[in-house]
Structure 1
Amino acid sequence: MKNLIVSYALAVIGLFGPAGIHRFYLGKPISGIFYLLTWGFLGIGTVIDLIRMPNMVEEENLKKLMYLNLAKNSVNPKFNLSTPEKDILKIAYKNDGVVTPQMVTLSSSMSLREAKKELELLKISQYCNKDIAEDGAELYYFHGLTAKAPLF
């Protein structure tokens, strides 16, 4: 798991020395190379990364958790969905492709924390998109489960 303090330290080093080390640490080697060549886009990119650092670390850790979970539960992850994923997809199918963590918790055996974690893993894997409703609710949209008419 990636550490937020280490990420911050590497980014701060990039302000005064070789920029982009934090990007390599967070599993983003291509942008890390660009940061090295441009000194973090003249330092602006590094400053922006300092602001975004908690989200960047969380995203990388969720990717790693998802990879470990898939490796542990399946030989072929495409054809062996875990039970939480099946539950979420069933709930999304019943609700025109849109779910919230609260809906998942009410319709499954998952806690709110587990539902949020599973939805974020699905979002990172690009199985769904996330949006925030006017009332602040987190909405997860599963394309392909909506009731829209086909294009052809």
Structure 2
Amino acid sequence: MSAIAPPQVQERKKASYLLWFGILLGMGGLHRLYNGKYVSGVIWLFTYGLFGVGQLVDLVLISDMAERRQWQLSGGRPSKFDAQPAVATEVRKDSLMVQLLRLAELHGGQITVTQAVMETGQSFETIESELKTMVRSGYADVTNRPGSGVVVYEFPELM
């Protein structure tokens, strides 16, 4: 979350930590109820903070829990990237992704995992993982060759 929290978030964190001490009175989970985690809060309440273990783990989680709840209440969306400026990443010319794209270009916009393994020397798992990442990102499609059923990754921009 953000490095410098607004005053409302700081106050929510303080209150959450104070409510955490409810376990000393046999009432674990008050901090969870306060931060909108109603189901787990009730469970903590009836199990003495999940037998003390959950209560101890929550010492680490309270800060994030309180910050997320404050964002929910203020109508915003919590994000770990909110306070960080966008930074463009540069793709190295010798990266596996670029190698695969060049190989696909040589093969009319299509490539198989076996072709990529032979050309790059990388493992099947590494190649398949990189190609699946490209598919999830929308840069490639997966099809099968008629007759053989071989899985083919197609790059429409290179066809």
Q: TM-score scaled by structure 2?
A: 0.42
Q: TM-score scaled by structure 1?
A: 0.43
Larger radius of gyration: 2
